[in-house]
């Protein structure tokens, strides 16, 4: 049996087993199974040993272990190194490698032509775009890394300024602004905080002036996908802005993890999108 795992704490609400077992079945990997496991920090070492001994083939890492896992690994891919965040583990050439597929997953999600009302996406369409990133939690470095690689101009704000300042050390080109403030003109606004996970919770940053034609193409993107529409997205939709939740990023990061383990790159169709509804 080939065993795959997602590790985290809490882990009950993870949709990773759902999507990965769906692909395992779809691609007839009959001797494989993907499970979730709630762990403590002290268990990280054992997980790595299990991969070394081929008791586990592949692992997804989620909150709060994406950074904490790094000291246990032999090697990091470029994105994991740059973001200091690992969400996928796999052994190659006897080395346990940490990968970050969140960054690529995010880029895929934002590069969907229909989102921008066209048939194709210009290769450099994010270049020079003004992106306002809200929050400085575990996933934020993956978002910044992806946007930076495409040449976007990034402004960052977090309630605890020190955590935003830490991210500026990793990405010196970003601009950090005070909590509650916002840049005047944004093409994309991304919520990476956990505000909105609980219904009716709301980020106190005012975008009420974005209710006119000149902002109808501004994309409000919330990494949260459960609930499907946070207050952040609801208000944006009612103002007439474009909106998107975190479901496509989730599916795309999963797709790349599955590819690392099995060499199969799944297609994301309606079937997969509906699976998470
Ligand atoms: P994770 O690693 O799971 O993302 P985290 O590191 O605690 O968790 O990050 C959560 C993010 O949501 C942080 O940016 C946090 O802001 P702080 O750094 O100030 O804690 C943000 N966040 C959570 N609750 C918030 C709230 N009520 N108002 C504003 N930001 C909040």
Write the DSSP string, 177-223.
--TT---S--SEEEE-SSTTSSTT-------GGG-SGGGTTPEEEES
Torsion sign (Cα): 47, 49, 54, 57: positive
Q: Is 181 a catalytic residue?
A: no
User: What CATH architecture does domain 104-245 belong to?
Assistant: 3-Layer(aba) Sandwich (3.40)
Q: How far is the CA of 178 from the centre of ligand 1 (A)?
A: 15
Q: What is the pLDDT of residue 206?
A: 95
Domain residue ranges in the chain: 2-99+248-275, 104-245
Q: What is the pLDDT of residue 6?
A: 98
- Ligand 1: lining residues by beta carbon, under 6 Å: 63-64, 135-139, 158-160, 163, 193-195
Question: By alpha-carbon position, which residue is closest to atom 6 of ligand 1?
Answer: 137
Q: Are 140 and 119 in contact (CB under 8 A)?
A: no
Q: How far is the CA of 172 from the centre of ligand 1 (A)?
A: 21
Predicted TM-score (pTM) of this structure? 0.96
Q: What is the pLDDT of residue 164?
A: 98
Q: How far is the CA of 2 from the centre of ligand 1 (A)?
A: 36
Q: Tell which atom from ligand 1 comes closest to the C-alpha of 63.
A: 3
Question: By alpha-carbon position, which residue is closest to atom 7 of ligand 1?
Answer: 137
Q: How far is the CA of 52 from the centre of ligand 1 (A)?
A: 34
Question: By alpha-carbon position, which residue is closest to atom 10 of ligand 1?
Answer: 137
Residue 36: phi and psi, rounded to 5, are -110, 150
Q: Distance between CA atoms of 225 and 168, rounded to whole angstroms?
A: 27
Residues of the chain with pLDDT under 70: none
Which of 137, 141, 201 most suits a substitution to test ligand 1, by most atoms within 8 Å of the C-beta?
A: 137
Q: Distance between CA atoms of 265 and 255, rounded to whole angstroms?
A: 6
Q: Distance between CA atoms of 71 and 45, rounded to whole angstroms?
A: 10
Residue 254: phi and psi, rounded to 5, are -65, -40
Q: What is the pLDDT of residue 123?
A: 81
Q: What is the pLDDT of residue 228?
A: 95
Which of 13, 62, 159 most suits a substitution to test ligand 1, by most atoms within 8 Å of the C-beta?
A: 159
Q: Of 66, 129, 148, 255, which residue is the catalytic one? A: 66
Query: Topology of 2-99+248-275 in CATH?
Result: Rossmann fold (3.40.50)
Question: By alpha-carbon position, which residue is closest to atom 30 of ligand 1?
Answer: 159
* Other C-beta atoms lying within 10 Å of the C-beta of residue 216: 12
Q: How far is the CA of 265 from the centre of ligand 1 (A)?
A: 33
Q: Tell which atom from ligand 1 comes closest to the C-alpha of 160.
A: 19
């Amino acid at each position: 049996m080939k065993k795959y795992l997602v590790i985290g704490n809490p882990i009950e609400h993870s949709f990773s087993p759902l999507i990965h077992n769906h692909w395992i079945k779809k691609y007839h990997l009959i001797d494989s199974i993907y499970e979730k496991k709630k762990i403590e920090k002290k268990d990280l070492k054992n997980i790595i040993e299990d991969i070394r001994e081929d008791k586990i083939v592949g692992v997804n890492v989620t909150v709060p272990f994406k950074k904490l896992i790094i000291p246990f690994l032999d090697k990091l891919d470029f994105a994991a190194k740059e973001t200091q965040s690992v969400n996928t583990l796999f052994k190659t050439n006897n080395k346990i490698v940490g990968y970050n597929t969140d960054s690529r997953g995010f880029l895929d999600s934002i590069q969907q032509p229909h989102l921008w009302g066209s048939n194709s996406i210009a290769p450099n369409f994010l270049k020079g775009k003004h992106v306002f990133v809200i929050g400085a939690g575990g996933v934020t470095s993956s978002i910044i890394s992806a946007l930076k690689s495409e040449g976007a101009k990034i402004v960052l704000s977090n309630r605890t300024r020190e955590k935003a300042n830490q991210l500026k050390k990793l990405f010196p080109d970003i601009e950090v602004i005070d909590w509650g403030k916002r840049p005047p003109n944004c093409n994309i606004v991304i919520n990476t905080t956990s505000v909105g996970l609980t219904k009716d919770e709301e980020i106190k940053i005012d975008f009420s002036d974005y209710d006119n034609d000149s902002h109808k193409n501004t994309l409000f993107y919330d990494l949260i996908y459960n609930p499907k529409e946070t207050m952040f997205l609801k208000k944006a939709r009612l103002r007439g802005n474009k909106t998107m939740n975190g479901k496509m990023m989730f599916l795309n990061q999963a797709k790349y993890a599955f590819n690392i383990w099995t060499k199969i790159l799944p297609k994301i169709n309606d079937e997969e999108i509906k699976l998470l509804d």
